[in-house]
């Protein structure tokens, strides 16, 4: 099936609460029926010119700093990664049931790195059988411009660790066209998104004019980068494009495509999944109540315009974050 045919068919709180429970409350919606089997791979994306969305802000860093003090984020802290994975699966499955029932589709954006391991429980009972996988549409917040079978490919990572284990229809897994240049792949991916908005698969934010994905499951680097938006890089201030490209990534491989902040910040839900002591410094800064626009990390610039932002962390990741400095409400999830 051609790409065109495939696409066409297709405030501040500083309260620390101690709770002894295995998983946090989420949307109270039951999961639904099983979908169709997953097959060989994703369709490629066709190249066509893309129109540009209106700008959301002239300076993303300043806008994030201004909005950040008004937006409440929830921080969930787990004793162990296993408990985090159980809770993350429940959170995602309940959003899937709720939003698929409301919209007829569930749009999920994945990152690379350890996130794929963190969502492994979705591919196990009870979710393997109860989630309606036929409603899922899967995208990537960023991708390395390498062949799909390359060890650096975020698609390959997700395929091996998650997608091959759940019955999401192949035509609803949107990988980049790896035959194109970085610039071409970014334009092509944006064109695909715009067609899916036109078809009603992806919602559109009425407040920002950018696509509104149902949930983004994201990770963060030790330097505070998210997607392929790195500290100090000019791309953090891109405010017109939906998808852009980078050819000088400070982390190899150098050529990548990435969603921009206006798209990330238009999401309905974001789960920021961060574990390990190696990221404690960036977590400390991101969760501090002392933020200025001059030195924001990319993760601090993720401020939803009209959505719910939840941190899923473990104790090592918040090991140097003092509760008194937290700008967000926190829930410590201890093993029962």
Domains of the chain with CATH codes: 73-333 (3.40.50.1360)
Predicted local confidence at residue 325, as pLDDT: 54
Q: What is the mean pLDDT of residues 231-253?
A: 96
pLDDT band at 190 (very low <50, low <70, confident <90, very high): very high
State residue 89 phi and psi, 5-degree precision.
-65, -45
pLDDT of residue 28 exceeding 50, the answer is: no
Structure tokens at 292: 């200025």
pLDDT band at 11 (very low <50, low <70, confident <90, very high): very low
Q: How far apart are CA 303 and CA 288, in angstroms?
A: 14
pLDDT of residue 324 exceeding 50, the answer is: no
Q: Give the rounded percent of residues in the chain with a pLDDT score beyond 70.
A: 74
Virtual torsion, Cα 271, 121, 87, 103, nearest 10 deg: 60
Predicted local confidence at residue 55, as pLDDT: 36
Do residues 277 and 41 lie in contact, with contact meaning Cβ atoms separated by under 8 Å? no
pLDDT of residue 35 exceeding 80, the answer is: no
pLDDT band at 22 (very low <50, low <70, confident <90, very high): very low
How many residues are present in the chain? Answer: 336
Predicted local confidence at residue 73, as pLDDT: 81
pLDDT of residue 13 exceeding 50, the answer is: no
Predicted local confidence at residue 68, as pLDDT: 46
pLDDT of residue 46 exceeding 80, the answer is: no
pLDDT band at 326 (very low <50, low <70, confident <90, very high): low
pLDDT of residue 115 exceeding 60, the answer is: yes
- Burial of 86: CB neighbours in 10 Å, binned 0-12, 13-18, 19+: middle
Structure tokens at 101: 């029932």
Q: How far apart are CA 175 and CA 45, in angstroms?
A: 7
């Amino acid at each position: 099936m051609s790409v065109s045919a495939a696409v066409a068919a297709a405030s501040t709180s500083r309260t620390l609460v101690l709770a002894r429970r295995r998983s946090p409350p989420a949307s109270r919606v039951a999961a639904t029926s099983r979908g169709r089997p997953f097959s060989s791979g994703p369709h490629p994306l066709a190249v066509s010119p893309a129109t540009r969305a209106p700008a959301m802000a002239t300076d993303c860093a300043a806008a994030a700093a201004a909005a950040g003090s008004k937006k409440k984020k929830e921080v969930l802290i787990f004793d162990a990664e296993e408990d985090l994975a159980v809770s993350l699966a429940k959170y995602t499955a309940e959003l899937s049931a709720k939003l698929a029932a409301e919209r007829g589709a569930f749009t999920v954006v994945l990152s690379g790195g350890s996130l794929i391991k963190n969502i492994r429980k979705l591919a196990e009972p009870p979710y393997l059988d109860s989630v309606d996988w036929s409603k899922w549409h899967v995208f990537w917040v960023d991708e390395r411009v390498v062949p799909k079978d390359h060890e650096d490919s975020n698609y390959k990572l997700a395929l091996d660790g998650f997608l091959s284990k759940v019955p999401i229809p192949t035509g609803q897994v949107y990988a980049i066209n790896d035959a194109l240049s970085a610039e071409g792949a970014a334009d092509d991916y944006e064109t695909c998104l715009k067609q899916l908005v036109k078809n009603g698969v992806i919602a559109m934010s009425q407040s920002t004019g950018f696509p509104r994905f149902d949930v983004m499951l994201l990770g963060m680097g030790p330097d505070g980068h998210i997607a392929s938006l790195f500290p100090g890089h000019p791309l953090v201030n891109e405010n017109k494009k939906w998808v852009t490209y980078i050819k000088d990534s400070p982390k190899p491989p150098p050529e990548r495509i990435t969603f921009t902040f206006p798209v990330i910040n238009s999401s309905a839900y974001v789960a920021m999944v961060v574990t390990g002591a190696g990221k404690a410094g960036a977590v400390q800064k991101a969760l501090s109540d002392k933020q200025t626009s001059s030195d924001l990390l990319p993760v601090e610039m993720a401020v939803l315009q009209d959505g719910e932002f939840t941190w899923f962390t473990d104790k090592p990741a918040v090991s140097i974050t003092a509760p008194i400095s937290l700008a967000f409400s926190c829930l410590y999830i201890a093993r029962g």
